[in-house]
């Protein structure tokens, strides 16, 4: 067995044994916190059946189980209050799998041997000046991660080579201006960013009326290889915790214009969610959400109507089986959650999913791969998904997670497939341990 897995298991057992003990000071912090080391290890067992073809009559290498492991080692140096150096390496592996070890090939997570995940310098001290500058390989995360996020669910995850200037005002106000290029995985050499693809933007976070956080943004994506040159304009609103009593809300509205794939782009996406938390010991919450993103009505003309999902963390939003992205979608979701104990969190989500336009493809969570070829004559009802999730915080350093998902295949899958098993339901089970110092 992988040496890291043995060490992680031993550490997990030790942490679980002492789970009821209050968290001790970080043993990896030195010189009054100016030298800080970090260790992370995540191991996830997955079992998937029909997730990729929705066809019970066809057994493929993706109808199987496998083990994913991700190990990170980091160091932060802070020689002065206004100066921070940070470096993080990562090793990601897919173990006990018949799939190829090539990331992204036929749905595989794949292998990415120890490589540089982050390396940046940050200059600035908000106590002295409102301006700070971060330069180098780093995580970008904005809003609800529907457009820009680190994709932490993926075993390899996502970072950017970026230059980011931040203005920090009073009472939670901040504004970012950045230019970035996404890092591309290289299994045989050092990971490098895609110099032909640039994402730049302005992103502002503005506390509003003491009840909500308002975010405004303008993002420009330029990719010469794909002939993409388009602007994304949007706003994200989220209620502040407790400001509306038991009620909460969140919404986002986005428009896009420019060219995508050399075609004139005009696209729209939005979502709205409202929730109510009952004043009970378990803090049960009931929420209702609707998400929409436009599709393309005619692939043969010079107009592109499909919303471009950029660099999201879609795993958080449209079902844990990752079969949808924020493009060509209607999603009505019911959310139930509760916290039976201080350490235990449970949730149940039910999504009902349609394609916005059957002339366009159904895009998976990577916002690129098609589930089936487009078929304008098919029903637009894709199906529904039930997700059950249980998370146990065994200690401040160890988290255990178990999840089960079932996809109830809709008419679209039976209309677009061939063979006796097409349009079959799908199942997904996973168990995960996360250790973090």
Domain containing residue 54: CATH number: 2.40.160.100
Within-domain flag for 188 = yes
Separation CA 208–CA 74 (nearest Å): 36
Burial class (CB in 10 A: 0-12, 13-18, 19+), 119: middle
Neighbours of 277 (CB within 10 A): 18
Residues of the chain with pLDDT under 70: 1-25
Within-domain flag for 219 = yes
CA 371 remoteness from chain centre: 19
User: What is residue 14's predicted lDDT score, i.e. its pLDDT?
Assistant: 42
CB 398 within 8 A of CB 15: yes
Q: Considering only CA atoms, which of 264, 259, 344, 348 is closest in space to residue 303? A: 264
Separation CA 171–CA 182 (nearest Å): 31
Strands 263-277 and 303-304: parallel
Number of domains observed in the structure of the chain: 1
Phi and psi for 358 in degrees, rounded to 5?
A: -75, -10
Torsional sign, CA 95, 98, 103, 106: negative
Torsional sign, CA 226, 227, 229, 230: negative
Separation CA 328–CA 165 (nearest Å): 34
User: What is residue 3's predicted lDDT score, i.e. its pLDDT?
Assistant: 47
CB 381 within 8 A of CB 388: no
Q: 377 lies in which domain range?
A: 31-436
What six digits make up the tokens of 58?
Answer: 């066809």
User: What is residue 5's predicted lDDT score, i.e. its pLDDT?
Assistant: 43
User: What is residue 133's predicted lDDT score, i.e. its pLDDT?
Assistant: 98
Separation CA 307–CA 292 (nearest Å): 10
User: What is residue 13's predicted lDDT score, i.e. its pLDDT?
Assistant: 40
Within-domain flag for 366 = yes
What six digits make up the tokens of 93?
Answer: 């592996």
Within-domain flag for 129 = yes
Separation CA 202–CA 175 (nearest Å): 7
Q: Can you list the positions of beta strands (E) in 241-328?
A: 247-260, 263-277, 285-293, 303-304
User: What is the rounded (10 degree) CA torsion for 320, 325, 326, 328?
Assistant: -130
Within-domain flag for 149 = yes
Within-domain flag for 12 = no
Within-domain flag for 204 = yes
User: What is residue 421's predicted lDDT score, i.e. its pLDDT?
Assistant: 74
Within-domain flag for 130 = yes
CA distances from 331 to 108, 252, 293, 301, 346 (A): 26, 14, 9, 27, 22
């Amino acid at each position: 067995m992988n040496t890291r897995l043995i060490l992680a298991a031993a550490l997990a057992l030790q942490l679980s044994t002492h789970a009821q003990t209050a968290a001790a000071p970080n043993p990896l912090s030195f010189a009054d916190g100016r030298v800080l080391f970090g260790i992370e290890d995540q191991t996830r067992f997955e079992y998937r059946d029909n997730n990729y073809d929705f066809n019970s009559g066809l057994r493929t290498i993706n109808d199987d189980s496998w083990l994913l492991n991700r190990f990170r080692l980091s160091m932060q140096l802070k020689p002065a209050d206004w100066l921070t150096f940070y470096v993080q390496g990562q090793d990601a592996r897919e173990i006990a799998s018949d799939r190829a070890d090539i990331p992204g090939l036929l749905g595989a997570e794949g292998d990415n041997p120890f490589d540089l995940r982050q390396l940046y310098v940050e200059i600035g001290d908000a106590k002295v000046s409102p301006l700070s500058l971060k330069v180098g390989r780093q995580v970008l995360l904005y809003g609800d991660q529907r457009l820009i996020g680190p994709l932490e669910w993926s075993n390899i995850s996502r970072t950017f080579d970026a230059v980011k200037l931040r203005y920090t005002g009073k009472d939670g106000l901040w504004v970012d201006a950045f230019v970035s290029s996404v890092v591309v995985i290289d299994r045989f050499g050092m990971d490098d960013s895609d110099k032909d693809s640039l994402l730049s933007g302005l992103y502002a976070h503005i506390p509003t009326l003491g009840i909500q956080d308002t975010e405004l943004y303008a993002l420009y994506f330029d990719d010469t290889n794909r002939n993409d040159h388009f602007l994304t304009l949007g706003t994200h609103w989220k209620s502040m915790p407790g400001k509306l009593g038991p009620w909460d809300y969140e919404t986002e509205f986005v428009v896009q214009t420019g060219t995508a794939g050399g075609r004139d782009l005009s696209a729209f996406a939005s979502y709205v969610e409202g929730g109510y938390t009952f004043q009970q010991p378990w803090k049960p919450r009931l929420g209702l959400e609707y998400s929409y993103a436009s599709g393309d009505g005619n692939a043969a003309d010079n107009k592109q109507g499909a919303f471009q999902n950029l660099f999201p963390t879609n795993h958080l939003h449209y079902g844990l089986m990752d079969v949808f992205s924020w493009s060509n979608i209607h999603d009505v979701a019911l959310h139930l959650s509760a916290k039976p104990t201080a350490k235990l969190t449970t949730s149940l989500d039910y999504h009902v999913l349609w394609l916005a336009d059957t002339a366009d493809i159904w895009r998976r969570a990577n916002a690129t791969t098609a589930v089936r070829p487009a078929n304008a004559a098919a029903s637009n009802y894709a199906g529904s998904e039930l997700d059950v999730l249980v998370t146990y915080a065994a200690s401040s350093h160890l988290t255990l997670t178990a999840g089960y998902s079932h996809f109830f295949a809709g008419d679209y899958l039976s209309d677009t497939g061939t063979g006796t098993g097409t349009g079959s339901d799908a199942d997904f089970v996973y168990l995960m341990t996360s250790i973090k110092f």
